[in-house]
Structure formats: structure tokens, C-alpha cells
Amino acid sequence: MVAASSYAQTDVVLKKKAVSDSVLTNNREIILPEPFNGQKAMLALFPGRYYNLTRSYKNEMINWTCPTCKAKQYEDVNEDNGGPFPYKGGVATRLMNIMDFKDSSGMQYKVISFNHSEFDEDGMQTSRFTGGLLGLAKFVLTDGGWKLRMYTPAIKAYGAFSQAPTPKPLQIGQDQYAFVLRHTNGPGGGPFYTTLYLIAGMNGNYQEVMAAYGVEKSGGDNEDGHFSTWTSEYTVPASDKKYFRDIVITWKGTYHTDDLEPLPAEVTKLIKKGKKTGKFTLVQRFVYKGSKGYELQPGSQVTVN
């Protein structure tokens, strides 16, 4: 994994603050003044104890605990789940990014993403195969200020070292945006595999609607250094669909016959006998299927050289 563990270079012993169980309420009434301030939005959502430990890298957090909250287990895509959230020992919540939008009617809105990890007195984020628990909140600009419109305090855990990947917006329909997470993980020395996850707003909540597995690979554990590697790009082709348009993912890479096991069968079956290495392209199409989310369609396009 490219990311390293995050730690605080400080001698301060951090503390946490007890908050009410309203932090988990989806339909909260919050209005913030213009101009929008992401960290103030975070404190409105999670009114815990704020610290700014920024030195050579940004490290701001809100530490909190919720004795009256009903903790719930959330899935970690690493299959190494942490404890129920909110964590018994406390939570450290960090603002990840602020995304700006304006729809066709002129309405302005912002979506903020945030990462939960277990509280640590030194401000550390560790645990190699534990992801960061992702949450999202949407604010719309009204005459009275920035009003909370959609709020999902926790979705799933992604990434490594208790740090979720930063979501990137992707337009998938008319005035409809979803958020892509590029999750990469693997053992020390590799190989490292990337899965693309898509988060979208549905029925008043943000939830995962697509997972495209193994779309990138780097490094490997072959003693001779003969690795198959590939990268990928995703697009949303023009469509008559108003919402949840098709998503196309294009893989481009190099295969080596000493490292064929990770490759899709559609690629390996087209490799000519006796050829040790070459290039390949794989084009996948994902189509939205309602409550099932996006599903990979059969008949991927493949070229092998």
C-alpha cells in the first residue's frame, strides 16, 4: 500500500469529549453561515474536542465519545473489521475533502467527506489492514445559509491504516453525482490491487452502489520479477438515461506468463501459446440494476497482443 501510517508529532496527550446520540441522526437540523467552512461544519456534526496538530502534513481531528449511542458494526472491505461504531474507546473524526457543485437550476451545494478512526491519545492512525470508516454530508445554499440536506455518518470502512481514500466526484446522470473511492491494499512488497467503489445518494442516504474488483495491479511476489501489471480509467458515456448511467472501466496493462493467475480469464484465454509477455486491453461495462446496484455485464471487450 502506498499510504503510510499517520502519526502526530506532538507531546500533547489528546482528550475526547462526550456528545449526544444526535450525532448519528440522519435528519438533523443544521444551518451554517456563508461562507462555508468545512471544519466548522464538522464541529456542528461532531461537537467533540477539536485539535489541529498540523506540522509537515495536515492533521486536524475531532475527538469524541458517545456513551448513549447504539453502536453498530460496519463492514470493512479489508475483511478485518474494527469494533462497532461509535468505538467504545472513542472516535477521531477528520475532514477529508469539500466538493463543490451547482445543478442546472443554479442551486449550489457542497458535499464533505470525513474519516472515522479509533481515538488515540497521540493522534495516531495505525493498523495496516483496517480501513477508515467513511461518512458523507451534503449542504445546500439557502437564503438562511448552508442547510444540511443529506447526512450519512458512517457507510463502510475503506483504505488502510485507518484512512479511507479521498472520494472523487463522478457525474452519473442529470444533476446526479456519485463518489469514487480508489481502494488499494496488499501485503508488504506487493502485489497491490485496486478496487473502485462507487458511493451514491439513494432514499435519503449515501450507500455503496458499485464495486469493481482488481482493476489495477502493481508490484508482485514473483522471484524473477516477471509481473503482470495494469492500470485503469473509468468513464460515463453519453446516454439517454436520466440517472445512473452506465459506467465503463478500461484496463490497460502488460501480461507475463509467469504471473497469469491474477489476470481475468477473458485475457488469459487469448494469450498465444509460447508467447511470454505482451500488452492487453480489457473494457468492462457496469449497468445499474436498481436495488442490486451496478452489475458487471457479460461480454467484456478484450484485445491481446
Whether pLDDT at 4 is above 70: no
Question: pLDDT tens across 98-128, in order?
Answer: 999 999 999 999 999 999 999 999 888 877 7
Whether pLDDT at 2 is above 50: no
**Confidence at residue 222, expressed as pLDDT on a 0 to 100 scale:** 62
Question: pLDDT tens across 38-71, in order?
Answer: 999 999 999 999 999 988 788 899 999 999 999 9
Calculate the dihedral angle through the C-alpha atoms of 4, 161, 58, 98, rounding to the nearest 10 degrees: 120
Q: What whole-number distance in Å separates Cα of residue 167 and Cα of residue 135?
A: 10
Average pLDDT over residues 90-102: 98
Amino acid identity of 11? D
Q: Which residues contact 261 (CB under 8 A, 6 or more apart)?
A: none
Judge whether 220 and 190 are in contact, CB under 8 Å. yes
**Confidence at residue 7, expressed as pLDDT on a 0 to 100 scale:** 44
Q: What whole-number distance in Å separates Cα of residue 72 and Cα of residue 158?
A: 17
Whether pLDDT at 282 is above 60: yes
The residue extents of the domains of the chain are: 1-163
Q: What is the mean pLDDT of the chain?
A: 93
